[in-house]
Chains A and B, each alone.
Chain A
Amino acid sequence: MSDPGHPVDLSALAADDPNPHAGDPTVNTTATVTTRTPEAIQAGRIDPVERPRAVLGCTDVSVYYGDFRAVNEVTMDIGVHEITALIGPSGCGKSTVLRSLNRMNDLIPGTRVTGTISYHGQDIYAKDVDPIEVRRRIGMVFQKPNPFPKSIYDNVAYGPKVTGMKTSNMDDVVEESLRGAALWDEVKDKLKQSAYGLSGGQQQRLCIARTIAVKPEVILMDEPCSALDPIATARIEDLMMELKKDYTIVIVTHNMQQAARVADRTAFFTAEAAEGNGDRTGHLVEFDLTSKIFSNPGDNRTEDYISGRFG
């Protein structure tokens, strides 16, 4: 975070320049998207062609809640301008991994992360890294739409205001963000009305607009459609396909069809009981191109899960 006071428009940068960080020595430009599990390498399932630059990289990431190890040794890279889906049965730690990507799990007392999570090569859990700055670059959309009890306008303007973004005209930022979230036409005449008057799907798109208003580079989505009906879900999915032109998206979903529809890559997690005390610890089974995961998975557990035999 060389310039913490001025959140740069990383998304626009990345959209224009295929390799914007070429001159930046702190950025690991050689990082690639791989499933670096030994089995995957042995089985030769790493696609040798599709290797876009990694925005986020997890290396041997384990997350503990107190003494309980929720997730064990996850290694995966999140590719730029891709949608990465995390799927798996309940309690497999996919949400835990997602929340560790922007340090939202810092808010749960007793949480500890081991291993390395790097953002363009910088360890986001390093001592001198400000979690607030991490969350400005890596935004989050939650399971239940959670607009602030304020007007639609104020919901969108909140992020730019608190992060001290230099904006010549807040009205433009609000309009741009609402257009970006495909909500502008529905709300342009009632910007001053309470966000609570919107439908669930509109509220969730407002939450997305609010997130993109601070111009993050990555958007984390924790089951963003699980509280929505199929029509609202379809609109969010369309929106995600639009957003990935400018942003990198990581989505946790319980809906395998959703992962198959939108995700470029899919990571399958599962939980297995430890031998000693029976605590169920989540781990990454397989991470690959979505087409591969859903047509020709490399692990029997993945195949059982996506074909509905468990989970």
Chain B
Amino acid sequence: MTALTADRVGPPKPLATAAHGEKGLRSMAFLIALWLCLAFGILVLAVLLVTTFLDGRERMDSGLFTNYTSQIAPETAGARAAILGTAWVILTTALMAIPIGVAAASYLEEFASRTSRFARFVELNVQNLAAVPAIIYGMLAAAAAVAVGIPRNTVIAGGIALALLILPVVIVATREALRAVPQEIRQASLALGASPMQTLSRQTLPAAVPGIATGTILALSRAMGEAAPLLLLGGLVFVKFDPNGFLSGFTTMPIQIFDWAARSQVEFQQLAASASILLLVLVIVLNGLAIVIRNKYSAAR
């Protein structure tokens, strides 16, 4: 013990010095800068929401939901076809993107060897897919639809375009969620004599559901607001019927908003604003759903 105390003469050095204190001038300045950035972000969002709401509040009535759009009577036009079209297209997108995305991610994460050329090739492609501009997916879906002989302005073609668009996001989110499942869970399952497939379907995937659901719903809400690939497909702007199947013609809310906002009558401008509010509410509801699912599953653990 003498060695420890021998060279300590006098009182110990003070722990805190003014130069490095947490309340120093530089720290405060930095903190204020951070707050200003945050305030700027919130302010822009608030201005956007408030002006849209003020523009669109007059048309936020039941007519928006029940009436079809109209060329001659903008005061009674509604977004009925666009709302139903969005529902159809997003449903189709989910039906294609979720199974393919989860399966691809499961293969890459659970089965593929890290060094396999094929797995690296697939990974590279997924990363490249994420960087492709949205409109290119529209061209691809249009070409695919024409190639199999279905009209390109159909629900199924729109679903294909949007599914391709969000596939990389679903794959990345699923891989992250699978990676977050402790290795011990897989080992425990395998050590009990479960096959790798059983381990995936009964342990790893269920444990990853919160992450997968969150990522997928966020991706779907992004797809819901997407207009570019659907415009290229010739998503119709003047639809006066309810979509009734995968081969039905359709319009979606972003396309309808795009069309209305480009018209000169003030009624259409207001209608565009009110449809935007509806789209925002839908997106917020979806994102809220993602949070609810995540919380429900993490509470169940």
Contact = CB atoms under 8 A, between A and B. Distances in A.
Interface in A90-111: 102, 104, 107, 109
Nearest to A155: B188
B187 A162 contact: no
Interface stretch (A134-142, A182-190, A264-272, A301-309): A134-142
Interface string B112-139: 0111000000000000000000000000
B301 A148 contact: no
A104 B192 contact: no
Contacts of B189: 148, 158, 162
Given A158-B202, A162-B202, A194-B301, A148 B193 contact: no
Nearest to A146: B184
B120 to A, nearest CB: 14
A119 B184 CA distance: 25
A211 interface: yes
A109 B111 CA distance: 11
Nearest to A139: B191
Nearest to B194: A162
Given A144-B184, A146-B182, A163 B194 contact: yes
Contacts of A140: 187, 191
Nearest to B301: A149
Contact of B193 (A107, A136, A146, A149): A136
Contact of A162 (B182, B186, B198): B198
A214 B300 CA distance: 26
A210 interface: yes
A162 B301 contact: no
Among B182, B193, B300, chain A packs the most CB atoms within 10 A around the CB of B193
Among B188, B189, B191, chain A packs the most CB atoms within 10 A around the CB of B191
A146 B198 contact: no
Contacts of A139: 191-193
Contacts of B188: 142, 146-148, 207, 210
Given A144-B184, A162-B198, A214 B192 contact: yes
A196 interface: yes
Contacts of A147: 188
Contact of A159 (B113, B184, B193): B193
Contact of B114 (A107, A109, A158): A109
Query: What interface size band does chain B fall in?
Result: 20 to 34
A135 B190 contact: yes
A133 interface: yes
B193 A104 contact: no
A132 interface: yes
A142 B195 CA distance: 18
Interface string A186-215: 000000001010000000000100110010
Given A148-B203, A158-B202, A196-B301, A135 B192 contact: yes
B191 A102 contact: yes
A163 B193 contact: yes
Contacts of B190: 104, 107, 132, 135
B79 to A, nearest CB: 43
A291 to B, nearest CB: 31
Interface in A22-68: none
Nearest to A211: B192
A163 B192 contact: yes
Nearest to B202: A162
B207 to A, nearest CB: 6
B185 interface: yes
Nearest to B113: A109
A104 B184 CA distance: 12
A133 B193 contact: yes
A142 B184 contact: yes
B107 to A, nearest CB: 16
Contacts of B184: 142, 144, 146
B187 A107 contact: yes
Among A159, A162, A194, A196, chain B packs the most CB atoms within 10 A around the CB of A162
B192 A210 contact: yes
Contacts of B202: 158, 162
Nearest to B184: A146
22 contacts: A104-B187, A107-B186, A109-B114, A132-B190, A132-B194, A132-B195, A139-B192, A139-B193, A140-B191, A142-B191, A146-B182, A146-B185, A146-B188, A148-B185, A159-B192, A159-B193, A162-B189, A162-B194, A163-B192, A163-B193, A207-B188, A210-B192
Given A135-B190, A148-B185, A207-B188, 11 more contacts: A104-B187, A132-B194, A135-B192, A139-B192, A140-B187, A142-B188, A148-B188, A162-B189, A163-B194, A196-B301, A214-B192
- Shortest 8 CB-CB contacts between residues of A and residues of B: A136-B193, A146-B184, A159-B192, A140-B191, A162-B194, A163-B193, A149-B301, A162-B198
